Structure 1
Amino acid sequence: MVGSVMNTTNTDFHRKKVVFIMGSTGTGKSRLSVDLAGHIPAEIINSDKMQVYNGGLDILTNKIPESERNGVTHHLISEFDPNSDFTVSDFCFHALKAIDKIVRSDRVPIIVGGSNSFIEALVEDPHFKFKAKYESCFLWLDVSVPILNSFVSKRVDHMVHAGLVDEVRALLIPGSDSDCTRGIHRAIGVPELDEYFKAEAKLTDKTTKEKLLREAIEKIKDNTRKLVLTQLKKIQRLRYEKGWAIHRVDATPVFQRGGKDAGRAWEEFVAKPSLAIANDFLLKLNENYVM
């Protein structure tokens, strides 16, 4: 395990500071957030627009299981009606409430997720006055696109094996016209499988059904790979056009290795440098905080 560089408990040095973990889907953001929270007094705020919903799509939305949260408090995960539209404004309102609560308890808010539009609005929208209240540290967990594309494709296969199809089937009402433009129904995997279920209901031939299912799964993979690029471009825009001071952490070596080597690579290339960046940020006296 990574050794903690500092002990921030009962110190004012980290007050009014927020750590963000950004990155494309599948890069290990949730894992890193829990790792950091194991070494600094922190609570985690989810900024993934699909993980905010309850409703049972834990496999599809890749929610971090309770068993992997290591007792760290998580906010804005599985809290909202899956049929509601959780907007950018909703996120900012609830995130700010959570941030204020965490800071008042003398802990560090770690905001983690792939919905960069949420993060940008929270930080940039003058209505929320975020910059006037808090200082930010942005960690960007990056992975080479070809390697990440291969990983997320394999991850879809693992999700299917874990029960993805039945999970989505249980969400959709048989014979109904599902509105895949609202709530959790917008998640990649729901529209693709909804189309398959509607076709499946009209077929009796098993071979044809299996072929259509394979095609639906390939669409999920393709749309996930497109999401990877969209998320990457947004982060690059924030860094290079908006001028955000984003620290890039290259996790590619982790994905190039397997077994124990992958674990060691995670510690060397991701956990240790990320903790060092966070510690440097938290030890720096906050310019906006008056003792």
Structure 2
Amino acid sequence: MKPLIIIYGSTGTGKSDLAVELATRYNGEIINADAMQMYNGLPIITNKLTTEEQRGIPHHLLGSIELHEDPWVVTQFKKEATRIISEIRGRGKLPIVVGGTSYYLDGLLLKGLVEDQPALEGGAHPEAMLAKLREVDPVIADKWHPNDARKIRTSLEIYFATGRRASDIYAEQRIKKESKWASKDTAQTHGLGEILLFWLYAQREVLNERLDQRVDKMVRSGLLGETAEVYDYLQQRLAAGETVDRSKGIWQSIGFRQFEPYLTAVKATPDAGPALAKLKEAGIEETKAATRQYAKYQVRWMTMKTIASLQEEKLLDRLYLLDSTDISRWKQEVLEKGVELARQFLADEQLPPPTDMSDTAREVLAGSVERSNREDTPCRKTCDICQKTLLTEELWQAHITSRKHAKAVRGAKKRMLIPAHAVPSRSLVAVEPEPSEQDSKQHQ
């Protein structure tokens, strides 16, 4: 048996704590799969475990790249993580992969498009990349949202690496996958060995409050000092005439961008007390909002992408949702259940159905599977009022009947800026519709 444990979950759910507990009890070593935590230093911004919290457990890919380096592409992470997994097993120990960067975990667990993708030159503008993608692969270009720079970039990298269109490769892989699994009922093993998956989940309202409190704690612990370090480092590079691509890497870390106006003002007018205090408070609130939005994005990725892929590869019966909503019951609901499942897994005992873990597990997993099985109707429509592009008919209908869109329509009508052709017919009668959950699914 070549066991491997992988822990998914949004920020603030206790993934790292569970990983350390499992590693302590079952002779494990931990591999970090959080893109920001791969950067050296900045423990508060990237929310790294302290040395004391690591409890002597070896942690790999934690603080392993420098601030000036680009974040790793998925294939780079997969190659290095696979090598480390093999080394950990060679020492007779249990590899545990944990992190919030779901596309790293998916890339490790699920077979990617190509084995080696070159990175495009830093600084490439999203509009320029999209124009090039439309030239070389119009099919895949129409599939991606114009603001989704990561997917656009990846599709171009695939084309330049292979000389083939990503849309053609996707189509071939779908055919192969359907053929591969047509004669198999279950996936007993995986290329990485036998796998146990955990998904730490918390209800949004409760988690949001927890995340707000965590940001306040980060501020008290020195968050502003770290953001100032990053700001000074950026100014040094710019002063040296370097070109800095701020669309990726540490510059996208939550906290730095939100406090940058405050830091700029501090350098310009350090004695402007009331004004600086206002900018500081705005930075705190924006950091909280960005953290909540990121957690929402992580859950959406899990429910709409990862679960669909696990279902296709017959691995869904190895995914166990552990409910960390009530932090006072974290020991009973997350730790004890996770430890027992890991014991059964390592002893090669029969594992219980994932839906038996809790009512939350049953409801969330069933809902996620239902959504992943639902086929949306492709379309490409742009709301001229809200300046948003929707890629399915379902998302379009949800948008034009949403409270946010109705409010924008009323505001634009008051300003008399709505051209007649720009208002969908349903918008004219949407006085105050209830907000739609699906409206949040549009790609940011």
Do the two structures share a fold, i.e. TM-score over 0.5?
Answer: yes
Which residue is 1:201 aligned to?
A: 267
Cα deviations by residue, 1:81-105 (Å, 9 ceiling, x for unpaired):
1211122222112111110101111
Which residue is 1:104 aligned to?
A: 90
Flag the structure with larger Rg.
Answer: 2
Aligned residue identity for 1:63: K
**Does the 8 A contact of 2:106 with 2:306 survive in 1?**
no
The one of 199, 208, 224 aligned to 1:149: 208
Which residue is 1:235 aligned to?
A: 302
Deviation at 1:280, TM superposition (A): 1.8
Which residue is 1:221 aligned to?
A: 288
**Does the 8 A contact of 1:175 with 1:198 survive in 2?**
no
Alpha-carbon spacing, 1:238–1:145, altered in 2? closer, same or farther (3 Å): same
**Does the 8 A contact of 1:83 with 1:185 survive in 2?**
no
Secondary structure of 2:191's aligned partner = helix
Which residue is 2:136 aligned to?
A: none
The TM-score, its normalising length taken from structure 1, stands at 0.84
Which residue is 1:249 aligned to?
A: 322
**Does the 8 A contact of 1:53 with 1:80 survive in 2?**
yes
Q: Normalized per residue, which structure has more helix?
A: 2
CA distance in 1, matches of 2:216, 2:276: 18
User: Residue 91 in 1 paired to residue 83 in 2?
Assistant: no
Q: Where does the alignment leave 5 or more consecutive residues of structure 2 unmatched?
A: 116-188, 239-243, 350-444
**Does the 8 A contact of 1:196 with 1:216 survive in 2?**
yes
**Does the 8 A contact of 1:84 with 1:182 survive in 2?**
no
The one of 71, 75, 82 aligned to 2:67: 82
CA distance in 2, matches of 1:45, 1:77: 8
Q: How many residues align?
A: 260
CA distance in 2, matches of 1:83, 1:154: 31
Deviation at 1:179, TM superposition (A): 4.7
Secondary structure of 1:19's aligned partner = strand
Q: Where does the alignment leave 5 or more consecutive residues of structure 1 unmatched?
A: 1-14, 255-261, 286-291
Secondary structure of 1:20's aligned partner = strand
* Comparing 89-98 and 167-176, the one that deviates more: 167-176
Aligned residue identity for 1:251: S
CA distance in 1, matches of 2:248, 2:294: 18
Aligned residue identity for 1:90: Q
Mapping for residues 152-191 of structure 1, pairs under 5 Å: 152-173=211-232, 176=235, 177=238, 179-191=245-257
Which residue is 2:340 aligned to?
A: 276
**Does the 8 A contact of 2:231 with 2:263 survive in 1?**
no
Aligned residue identity for 1:50: M
**Does the 8 A contact of 1:180 with 1:191 survive in 2?**
no
Deviation at 1:33, TM superposition (A): 0.6
Mapping for residues 93-132 of structure 1, pairs under 5 Å: 93-126=79-112, 131-132=190-191
* Comparing 268-277 and 191-200, the one that deviates more: 191-200
**Does the 8 A contact of 1:180 with 1:190 survive in 2?**
no
**Does the 8 A contact of 1:44 with 1:74 survive in 2?**
yes
Secondary structure of 2:297's aligned partner = helix
Aligned CA-pair RMSD: 2.0
Alpha-carbon spacing, 1:233–1:133, altered in 2? closer, same or farther (3 Å): same
Alpha-carbon spacing, 1:149–1:175, altered in 2? closer, same or farther (3 Å): closer
Following TM superposition, where does structure 1 have runs of at least 4 consecutive aligned residues deviating by more than 4 angstroms? none
Which residue is 1:289 aligned to?
A: none
**Does the 8 A contact of 2:212 with 2:288 survive in 1?**
yes
**Greater relative contact order structure (CA < 8 Å, 6+ sep):** 1
CA distance in 2, matches of 1:109, 1:34: 11
Deviation at 1:123, TM superposition (A): 1.2
Which residue is 1:7 aligned to?
A: none
CA distance in 2, matches of 1:195, 1:118: 31
